[in-house]
Amino acid sequence: MSESWIVGINPVEGALSNDAGQVRELLVEQGQRNARVQALAERAKALKIPVHHRPREQLDKLSGEARHQGVVALYEPPPMAHEGDLPALLERDGADTLVLVLDGVTDPHNLGACLRSAAAARVTAVIVPKDRAVGLTPVVRRASAGGADRVPLIAVTNLARTLRELKDAGVWITGMAGDTDDSIYGIDLKGPVALVLGSEGEGMRRLTRELCDFVAKIPMPGAMESLNVSVATGVVLFEALRQRSAKR
């Protein structure tokens, strides 16, 4: 993947904290007096990352519509985890395996927010189909607030095959859909599990749903029929964590 610009104080700070080896240079707005920006510049220098002072107009051009707050970083994203890495990740986490599968989430802000929740929940891996994912773009990285650096994102060629491999490895699969009577709060999410969410518009694809061991919904007594996929992801991941903490 080609180099890209990470924009703003918090995203740049996250890159320096979690993935400094991929940061190629820092550009700081000329005359910038923000203490946090100055601290980032000093930190980059300590890490032997080149720091250059540039006119605001140059940072504006590089940042597009995003607010750069006086600092941007040239970042070379590491390669995404490979689907061949999945067996080792499952073996590493064993009974604590918690996999998030996103079948059709293509909006970079939603994918980034899902990665943020996945990192917070210490998810084993996030799996997406190659033909229905945006990859680790700058927008995804920014929306993930550092989550993209903390959880493996694996794009697989054949999602159905990967789900079968999860089942063969002893992982129980629960898909989320609104047209079922079963509540996520009634599903046993302890042990090795995978949680599958589809796109907001279409939900899970038919074959994906057929490969799930359980299909559940998030009960919504209010007037809304659905949640944003990133919000739903947070709800189901932390329900799994709640159940797992209760067993100890």
Q: What is the pLDDT of residues 7-43, one digit of tens each?
A: 899 889 988 887 788 899 999 999 989 999 999 999 9
Q: What is the pLDDT of residues 173-212, one digit of tens each?
A: 999 998 899 999 999 999 999 999 998 677 889 999 999 9
Q: Indicate the DSSP class of residue 183.
A: B
For the domain spanning 83-246, the CATH number is 3.40.1280.10
Assess contact for 29 and 56: CB atoms under 8 A.
yes
CA distance 12 to 8: 6
Helix (H, G, I), strand (E, B) or coil at 101: strand
Q: How far apart are CA 16 and CA 21, in angstroms?
A: 8
Residues 208 and 159 sit within 8 Å (Cβ to Cβ): yes
Residue 82 is given by DSSP the state: P
Please indicate if the annotation marks 198 as binding a ligand. Answer: yes
Give one word for 71, left, alpha or beta, with left for phi > 0 and alpha for psi -120 to 50. beta
For residue 218, say whether it is annotated as part of any ligand binding site. Answer: yes
- 4-75 and 83-246: same fold? no
Query: Alpha carbon of 136 to those of 16, 185, 200, 240, 248: distances in Å?
Result: 17, 32, 20, 26, 35
Gap between the Cα atoms of 152 and 102, Å rounded: 13
Q: What residue ranges do the domains of the chain occupy?
A: 4-75, 83-246
Is 115 assigned a ligand-binding role in the annotation?
Answer: no
Q: In terms of CATH architecture, what is 4-75?
A: 2-Layer Sandwich (3.30)
